Amino acid sequence: MATDTHNFGKVAVLYGGISAEREVSLKSGAMVHAALVKQGVDAHLFDTGERDIFELKTQGFERAYIALHGRFGEDGTVQGALELMHIPYTGSGVMASSLAMDKVRTKQIWLQAGLQTPNYVVLARGETVDVAKIVAQLGMPLFVKPPLEGSSVGAGKVTRAEDLQAACELAWQYDTHALIEQCIEGRETTCAVLGSSKDAYALPLVEIIAPDGNYDFEHKYLSNDTVYECPAKLSDELTIRIQNMVVDAYRVLGCAGWGRAEVLVRASDNEPFLLEMNTSPGMTDHSLVPMAARAVGMSYEQLVMAILADARLHVLHTPARNQ
């Protein structure tokens, strides 16, 4: 039975899905589900890749924990369906989820708000890759990724100009566009945020030290070679600056509930650069939000319960008019 203070009713843990990040989502969802059940929540796994999302309504689910990653789960589509069914859900609403999923739109909004992010070029699938022009504009090395994917799927660092074409073609396998970014050489950090609007706050920073600086899919989820420092060994001044920057970045996108931003700290001058915002971060045993939460004394179970407690509808639902 659910506790008196967290009477959530019947809860669906949405996981799996049909994106390129399905396998990671299956792991996240299984761990979230186990934690909820351990806390007495009436939680049930629900694979949106195998079941019709609208079964949630017919089967009496009262709340949804979104443990989906990538398209059709983190991009506003599932959030819209849940709004239509009037089922409160964890994390950001339709608009914020959609914006944050698109790394190009995210960068445009951040730049408009005066937040620092690496310079970039976007190429549509099949567009000519003018290597000399791009290198002259952005320098070397570069980082190429599909704008609508996560977990480093289809992404890679380019250290030789002659490899740029192949990197774009890899990104185009997963998306209609390739995002080519100036590669900021330095320290890789991530910062999780909990809460919404004025109540949003940052958790301790995590520094990611991957072999040869290559934090790819394998080093994120499969190997144990990556080293994580939490809290990151940065000065108090720089830590606070990054945390404030991330909370600002979270708020300007309209994010809610929880999220996690990637931030690179340039080695030459300790300048921080925002990379992307994740509105449904991983919750596996390799994931970074639980790691940051532990640094402030919050267990995995407590973190999951706090996220679920903040589940909500984001659209004002007015009574339907009689026709």
| pLDDT 10s digits, 88-115 | 999 999 999 999 999 999 999 999 999 9
Is residue 132 included in any domain, yes or no?
yes
What pLDDT is recorded for position 211?
Answer: 73
Question: What is the three-class DSSP state of 88?
Answer: coil
Domain shared by 33 and 170, yes or no: no
Tell me the Cα Rg of the chain.
20
Name the domain count of the chain: 3
Query: What residue numbers bound the domain in which 127 lies?
Result: 120-182
Is residue 108 included in any domain, yes or no?
yes
Give pLDDT tens digits along the chain (323 positions): 334 445 899 999 999 999 988 999 999 999 999 999 999 999 999 999 999 999 999 999 999 999 999 889 999 999 999 999 999 999 999 999 999 999 999 999 999 999 999 999 999 999 999 999 999 999 999 999 999 876 577 899 999 999 999 999 999 999 999 999 999 999 999 999 999 999 999 999 999 997 765 555 554 555 567 899 999 999 999 999 999 999 999 999 999 999 999 999 999 999 999 999 999 999 998 899 999 999 999 999 999 999 999 999 998 776 665 43
Domain shared by 214 and 292, yes or no: yes
Q: Which of 127, 124, 74 is nearest to 253 (CA)?
A: 74
Domain shared by 80 and 18, yes or no: yes
pLDDT in tens, 47-84: 999 999 999 999 999 999 999 998 899 999 999 999 99
Domain shared by 112 and 232, yes or no: yes
What pLDDT is recorded for position 267?
Answer: 96
Domain shared by 85 and 8, yes or no: yes
Q: What CATH number did the domain enclosing 140 receive?
A: 3.30.1490.20
d(CA 39, CA 44) in angstroms, rounded, equals 13
Report whether 225 contacts 211 (CB < 8 A).
yes
Say how many residues make up the chain: 323
Domain shared by 238 and 209, yes or no: yes
Domain shared by 213 and 125, yes or no: no
Domain shared by 196 and 295, yes or no: yes
Report whether 63 contacts 8 (CB < 8 A).
yes
Looking at the chain, the number of H-run helices and the number of E-run strands are: 11, 13
Is residue 17 included in any domain, yes or no?
yes
Report whether 293 contacts 75 (CB < 8 A).
no
**92, 97, 99, 109 from 115: Cα distances, Å:** 20, 19, 16, 9
Is residue 189 included in any domain, yes or no?
yes
